[in-house]
């Protein structure tokens, strides 16, 4: 790539110089034609003025001038009363007739340039001679120069293309220079072969070890960390980022995973081919089971390209598996955990006694259907994403924020008692109400809180039912409020109304 740009620039420079040279020759040729025409006119006038010829000799001289000038369209001699005395024409009759008018009409014919000169006639009186020059010779000269320039340009382009093709073939073959037999040392040859064999065995062993290590990782973050460390230590390469085709990033994704729109990802993938180097960056397409899924950006020197590509491709299939798992476990719009992940996380915490007391907060956006119906689904998506962001930022690190379904969200809080859970829900409610998500409409949410304090109470279906019942209470008593219910409250609700 680095050599192609200077060669292309050199080719363009040569073509520009060729065009400039052809233009100069063309202009010089036109100047020669005009000089010859002026010489013919000057000679005709001067010869007639130098000596008065007889009428026959005078006409013979004019006949010779007309015959020797193929681009002379009309030669017309008139006396001082504008009566024609001599006429020879190569123009059509209709165009020739125009020149018999008293004024001589110079320039009337668009195909001829005219010149009117004063001369002395054989009878001693003054008269005029009209020369009407056609474009026959100039057009022939222009066509000839254009053909020569085009042929030269084509020959230059063909020659440059053939040279580039031959150069690429030579580079692909990389044929070593022949070494005379008397200069070959058998011990040196054997040593070189053993060295190459040792390097190949070391590479294969390292790649197999990397494949085993990658298979033992349990999360996308740890796998990305392992890939970065392996590339740095064994290939002297820095893993900058990995791009995937996706509109919205997930909050659980590693910071080095970049999301590109499908259109942009497709364009970049088309440009890559088998790989693309730009300065110190190497872009490598990644695939799993023959299907492309990502693009890795590596920072390395050209000498380390082959080793870097080998190692990053050992991580391709494991990375793809973890990404697919994360995409299935997370909501694509909000980046929170999906309903499937919510069920798994809640079930795992209810089986773990160290997670008790276990709190569950259910949140529902008030009048969300009216937002979609009046402002459109884009406004509804914006409200969902910003609400998810408020919940995620307000929740502690130990909490799991999930999209429960539609406009409902769930927050699982292990090791959290009822007062703390209610206080957190109230904070979230106030943050949503004051966030100003829409310009001309307020957005609020209702909350329901339930806590399981014992192993017997920590049944997923039971705690969900209690939190849902508390949420229903908030919806029925004015919305934009937090309600809570414990397992021992037997359906009684303690509501915290908006202040």
Same domain, 343 and 489: yes
Q: Could you give the number of structural domains in the chain? A: 3
Contact 239, 282 (CB under 8 A): no
Q: Which of 461, 440, 443, 450 is nearest to 488 (CA)?
A: 450
pLDDT in tens, the chain (499 residues): 455 566 667 777 777 877 777 777 777 777 777 777 787 777 776 655 545 667 778 788 888 888 888 878 788 888 878 788 888 887 777 777 777 665 444 444 445 677 788 887 877 778 888 888 777 666 776 777 777 878 877 887 887 778 777 777 766 555 454 555 455 566 776 667 766 666 655 555 555 666 666 666 667 777 788 888 888 888 888 988 888 887 666 655 667 888 888 888 888 888 877 778 877 888 888 888 888 888 899 998 888 888 888 888 888 888 888 788 777 788 888 889 899 899 999 999 999 888 899 999 999 999 999 999 999 999 999 999 999 999 999 999 999 999 999 999 999 999 999 999 999 999 999 999 999 999 888 999 999 999 999 888 889 999 999 999 999 999 999 999 999 986 443 334 444 433 3
Same domain, 63 and 24: yes
Question: Of the candidates 139, 171, 199, which is a domain's last residue?
Answer: 139
Query: Across 53-95, where does the E strand assignment appear?
Result: 72-79, 84-89
Q: How far apart are CA 161 and CA 231, in angstroms?
A: 39
Whether residue 248 is contained in a domain is answered as yes
CATH number of the domain bearing residue 84 = 3.30.450
Whether residue 90 is contained in a domain is answered as yes
Same domain, 79 and 117: yes
By residue range, what is the domain housing residue 223? 210-329
Model pTM above 0.75: no
Contacts of 339-346 with C-beta under 8 Å, sequence gap 24+, read 339/402, 339/403, 339/404, 339/405, 341/400, 341/402, 342/400, 342/402, 342/403, 342/404, 342/410, 342/412, 343/460, 345/400, 345/402, 345/412, 346/412, 346/460, 346/463, 346/464
Contact 469, 434 (CB under 8 A): no
Whether residue 86 is contained in a domain is answered as yes
Whether residue 186 is contained in a domain is answered as no
Provide the sign of the torsion angle of the four alpha carbons 131, 134, 135, 138, taken in this order.
Answer: negative
Whether residue 181 is contained in a domain is answered as no
Three-state DSSP at 424 gives helix
- Which residue do the tokens 């001309």 mark? 440
Same domain, 238 and 361: no
Q: Which of 448, 446, 483, 482 is nearest to 464 (CA)?
A: 448
Same domain, 282 and 363: no
Same domain, 369 and 322: no
Whether residue 99 is contained in a domain is answered as yes
Contact 70, 142 (CB under 8 A): no
- Which residue do the tokens 């209709």 mark? 94
Same domain, 383 and 316: no
Whether residue 164 is contained in a domain is answered as no
């Amino acid at each position: 790539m680095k050599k192609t740009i200077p060669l292309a620039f050199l080719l363009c420079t040569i073509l520009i110089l060729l065009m400039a040279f052809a233009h100069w020759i063309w202009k010089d040729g036109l100047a020669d034609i005009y000089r010859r025409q002026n010489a013919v006119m000057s000679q005709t006038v001067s010869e007639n003025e130098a000596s008065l010829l007889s009428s026959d000799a005078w006409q013979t001289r004019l006949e010779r001038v007309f015959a020797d000038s193929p681009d002379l369209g009309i030669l017309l001699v008139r006396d001082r009363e504008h009566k024609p005395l001599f006429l020879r024409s190569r123009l059509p009759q209709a165009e020739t007739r125009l020149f018999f008018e008293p004024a001589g009409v110079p320039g009337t014919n668009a195909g001829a340039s005219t010149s009117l000169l004063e001369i002395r006639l054989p009878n001693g009186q003054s008269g005029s001679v009209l020369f009407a020059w056609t474009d026959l010779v100039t057009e022939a000269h222009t066509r000839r120069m254009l053909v020569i320039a085009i042929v030269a340009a084509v020959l230059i382009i063909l020659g440059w293309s053939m040279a580039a093709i031959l150069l690429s073939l030579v580079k692909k073959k990389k044929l070593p220079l022949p070494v005379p037999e008397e200069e070959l040392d058998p011990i040196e040859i054997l040593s070189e072969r053993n060295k190459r064999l040792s390097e190949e065995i070391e590479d294969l062993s390292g790649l197999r070890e990397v494949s085993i290590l990658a298979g033992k990782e349990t999360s996308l973050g740890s796998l990305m960390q392992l890939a970065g460390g392996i590339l740095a230590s064994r290939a002297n390469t820095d893993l900058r980022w990995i791009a995937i085709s996706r509109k919205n990033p997930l909050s659980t994704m590693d910071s080095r995973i970049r999301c590109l729109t499908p259109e942009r990802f497709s364009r970049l993938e088309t440009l890559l081919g088998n790989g693309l180097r730009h300065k110190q960056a190497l872009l490598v397409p990644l695939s799993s089971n023959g299907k492309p899924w990502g693009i890795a950006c590596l920072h390395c020197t050209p000498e380390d390209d082959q080793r870097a590509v080998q190692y990053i491709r050992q991580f391709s299939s494991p990375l793809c598996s973890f990404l697919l798992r994360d995409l299935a476990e997370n909501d694509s719009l909000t980046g929170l955990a999906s309903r499937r992940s919510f069920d798994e996380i809640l079930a795992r915490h209810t089986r773990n006694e160290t997670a008790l007391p276990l709190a569950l907060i259910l949140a529902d956006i008030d009048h969300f259907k009216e937002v979609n119906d009046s402002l459109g689904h884009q406004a509804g998506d914006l409200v969902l994403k910003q609400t998810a962001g408020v919940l995620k930022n307000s929740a502690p690190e130990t909490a799991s924020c999930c999209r429960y379904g539609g406009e409902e969200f769930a927050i699982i809080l292990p090791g959290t008692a009822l007062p703390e859970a209610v206080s957190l829900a109230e904070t979230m409610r106030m943050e949503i109400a004051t966030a100003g998500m829409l310009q001309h409409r307020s957005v609020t949410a209702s909350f329901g809180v339930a806590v399981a304090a014992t192993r017997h109470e920590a049944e997923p279906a039971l705690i969900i039912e209690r939190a849902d019942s508390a949420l229903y209470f908030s919806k029925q008593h004015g919305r934009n409020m937090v309600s809570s219910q414990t397992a021992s409250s037997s359906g009684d609700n303690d509501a915290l109304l908006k202040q």
